[in-house]
């Protein structure tokens, strides 16, 4: 079964069956602009044509296995057509309506992660970001990420990468309806930061980016697409050669080779930190793009004062923006704890004092088991416990 949003296959099909070419634009409009993921709902097509297309095409073949909803996030657990599982997270970025700013500031819940006092009455939805998977599980083996514990299964084809966004846009349409101006909310920012290392699925990742940027596809700006990589140096160079002009985020997580090899063993041992930073310098010089450095805050491991100074020395002469990410604690890694809040703020101020911009990442997905692989890992562990109990 083919995907209806695969333009090359659909175009050949329409030509072969002598179906007018304008139907292609109608289908593209329905899927990419109207967020339709069911062929029967494309009412600009006749019923006969819809029935004909359903014999050879599908828009959505994901099965929703689980969904965890929070005020600022929705996490999906999808079963693919081959039975494998991936996770996708939607993040909602809200702004306080001007008339409620003073009141909310007084209640100290403007950006609270505990009160979640967000409602359409006091807040306005500003933008929506999606965190997508590029692989089923992962082979990078970052010690703080649960994804690798169930081992790498496969690379996602570009269609299954794109379908995560199409499904999300359909869900957003149902959740929020139309805006006051008659337009629809939809995904604005796409981040390759879900399951998998996107640069280890390079060709399919590039295929999905081309669809995202195509004006007959999702029509997303290059500024609104970010590839997050653990540091696959040769593929970073290939991004330049192939002129894939999107944003790049590097999961650095350590300012020295020894600590980085402990945290991200597979990648760090293949490309040491000196080689990686030379590649990054080559990338920034060739593209002029500012790089985002992801840095996880793990208590007594990545947050010491000595580490602070190593980090700013590494980045002070580079066009860098650091995102400090409080570690999302997980029962699968009981020995790891998130850094204390005061330590994170002190770390931020120290690095900033050396002219490196720093942001502390909002932990939007803590309440929805948003760390990569966390939701499915808990499902697997629950099944194993149930199987053991049944044997007793």
pLDDT beyond 80 at 370: no
**pLDDT tens-digit readout, 129-161:** 999 999 998 889 898 887 766 678 999 999 999
Q: Is 304 left (phi over 0), alpha (psi -120 to 50) or beta?
A: beta
pLDDT (mean) for 68-73: 88
Residues 83 and 198 in one domain: yes
Q: Which residues pair with 66 in a beta bridge?
A: 77
In degrees, rounded to 5, the angle at the alpha carbon of residue 106 between the alpha carbons of residues 100 and 112 is: 85
pLDDT digits 0-9 by tens, 181-232: 778 899 999 999 999 999 999 999 999 999 999 999 999 999 999 999 999 9
Task: Return the CATH number at 116.
Answer: 3.20.20.70
- What mean pLDDT do residues 256-278 have? 96
Q: What angle do CA 58, 373, 84 make, to 5 degrees?
A: 35
| Full DSSP string of 265-279 | HHHHHHS-HHHHHHH
CA Rg, the chain, in Å?
22
Residue 76 lies in a domain: yes
Whether 167 and 200 share a structural domain: yes
**Listed residues 159, 188, 220: the one ending a domain:** 220
Is 39 contained in some domain?
yes
Q: How confident is the model at residue 109 (pLDDT cuts 50, 70, 90)?
A: very low
Is residue 36 domain-shared with residue 113, that is, in the same domain? no
Q: Which of 87, 197, 204, 294 is catalytic?
A: 87
Task: Answer with the one of 20, 42, 58 that is the final residue of a domain.
Answer: 58
pLDDT band at residue 121 using 50, 70 and 90 as cut-offs: low
Same domain, 42 and 12: yes
CA–CA separation, 192 and 261 (whole Å): 22
**Do residues 197 and 111 both lie within one domain?**
yes
Strand, helix or coil at 192? Answer: strand
The answer as to whether 319 is a domain residue is no
**Residue 380 falls within a domain, yes or no?**
no
- Please indicate, yes or no, if residue 145 is contained in any of the structural domains: yes
Model confidence, pTM: 0.88
The count of domains in the chain is 2
Per-residue model confidence (pLDDT) at position 70: 86
Domain housing 196? 62-220
Mean pLDDT for 14-33 is 97
Assess whether 75 and 89 both reside in one domain: yes
Q: Which spans in the chain are helix H?
A: 7-16, 22-28, 47-54, 101-106, 158-176, 202-213, 233-241, 257-263, 265-270, 273-287, 305-315, 341-352, 374-391
Spatial distance between the Cα atoms of 192 and 368, rounded to a whole number of angstroms? 19
| Judgement on whether residues 163 and 90 belong to the same structural domain of the protein | yes
Give tens-digit pLDDT for 71-84. 889 999 999 999 99
Query: Do 140 and 16 share a structural domain?
Result: no
Shared domain check, 100 and 18: no
Residue 282 is assigned to a structural domain of this protein: no
Q: Is residue 17 part of a domain?
A: yes
What is the mean predicted confidence (pLDDT) over 12-24?
97
Question: Which region among 24-38, 89-103, 137-151, 262-276 has the lowest average model confidence (pLDDT)?
Answer: 89-103
pLDDT of res. 112: 44
Do 27 and 131 reside in the same domain of the chain? no
Residue 189 β-bridge partners: 129
The reply to whether 331 falls in a domain is no
Of 16-25, 86-95, 178-187, 367-376, the range with the highest mean pLDDT is 16-25
DSSP string of 121-141, one letter each residue: TTEEEEEEEEEE-SEES-SS-
As a whole number of angstroms, the distance between CA 265 and CA 248 comes to 21
pLDDT at 389 over 60: no
pLDDT over 90 percentage in the chain: 73
DSSP-derived 3-state class of residue 248:
strand
* Residue 67 pLDDT: 94
Query: Given this model, what pLDDT does residue 277 score?
Result: 97
Same domain? For 46 and 74 the reply is no
Look at residue 105 and tell me whether its pLDDT is greater than 60. Answer: no
| Whole-Å CA distances, 256 to 125, 272, 353 | 40, 9, 20
Q: Is 87 a catalytic residue?
A: yes
pLDDT digits (tens, 9 = 90+) for 322-365: 999 999 888 778 889 999 999 999 999 999 999 999 999 865 44
In the predicted structure, residue 118 carries a pLDDT above the cut 90: no
Task: Please calculate the CA angle 64-68-72 and round it to the nearest 5 degrees.
Answer: 125
Of 193, 220, 247, which closes a domain?
A: 220
Q: Which comes out higher in pLDDT, residue 179 or 185?
A: 185
* 138 has catalytic annotation: no
- pLDDT of 99: 64
Closest CA to 279 of 246, 252, 307: 252
Residue 390 has pLDDT above 60, yes or no: no
- Residue pair 272/230 in contact by the 8 Å Cβ criterion: no
Contacts of 214 (CB under 8 A, 6+ apart): 7
78 with 207, same domain: the answer is: yes
Given 69, 138, 372, 378, the catalytic residue: 372
């Amino acid at each position: 079964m083919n995907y209806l949003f695969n333009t090359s296959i659909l175009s050949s099909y329409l030509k072969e069956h002598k179906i007018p070419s304008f139907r292609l634009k109608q289908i593209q409009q329905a899927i990419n602009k109207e967020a339709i993921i069911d062929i029967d709902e494309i009412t600009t097509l006749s019923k006969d044509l819809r029935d004909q297309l359903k014999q050879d095409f599908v828009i959505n073949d994901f099965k929703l296995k689980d969904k965890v909803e929070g005020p600022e996030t929705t996490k999906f657990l999808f079963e693919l057509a081959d039975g494998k599982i991936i996770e996708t997270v939607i993040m909602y970025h809200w702004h306080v309506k001007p008339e409620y700013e003073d009141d909310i500031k007084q209640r100290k819940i403007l950006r609270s992660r505990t009160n979640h006092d967000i409602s359409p009455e006091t807040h306005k939805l500003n933008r929506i970001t999606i965190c997508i998977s590029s692989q089923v599980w992962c082979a990078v083996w970052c010690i703080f990420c649960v994804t690798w514990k169930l081992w790498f299964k496969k690379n996602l084809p570009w269609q299954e990468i794109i379908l995560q966004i199409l499904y999300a846009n359909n869900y957003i349409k149902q959740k929020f309806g139309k805006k006051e101006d008659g337009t629809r909310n939809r995904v604005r920012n796409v981040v390759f930061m879900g399951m998998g290392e996107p640069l280890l699925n390079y060709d399919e990742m590039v295929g999905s980016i081309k669809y995202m940027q195509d004006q007959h596809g999702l029509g997303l700006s290059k500024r609104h697409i970010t590839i997050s990589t653990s540091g696959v140096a040769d593929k970073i160079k290939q991004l330049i050669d192939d002129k894939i002009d999107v944003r790049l985020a590097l999961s650095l997580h350590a300012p020295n080779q020894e600590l980085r090899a402990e945290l991200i063993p597979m990648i760090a041992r293949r490309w040491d930190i000196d080689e990686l930073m030379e590649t990054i310098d080559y990338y920034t010089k060739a593209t002029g793009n500012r790089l985002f450095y992801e840095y996880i805050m793990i208590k007594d491991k990545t947050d010491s004062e000595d580490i602070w100074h190593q980090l700013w020395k590494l980045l002070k002469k580079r066009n860098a923006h650091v995102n400090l990410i409080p570690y999302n604690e997980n029962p699968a890694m009981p020995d790891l704890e998130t850094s204390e809040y005061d330590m994170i703020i002190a770390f931020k101020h120290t690095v900033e004092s050396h002219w490196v911009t720093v942001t502390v990442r909002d932990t939007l997905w803590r309440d929805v088991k948003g760390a990569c692989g966390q939701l499915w890992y808990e499902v697997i562990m629950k099944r194993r416990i149930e199987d053991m109990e049944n044997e007793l």
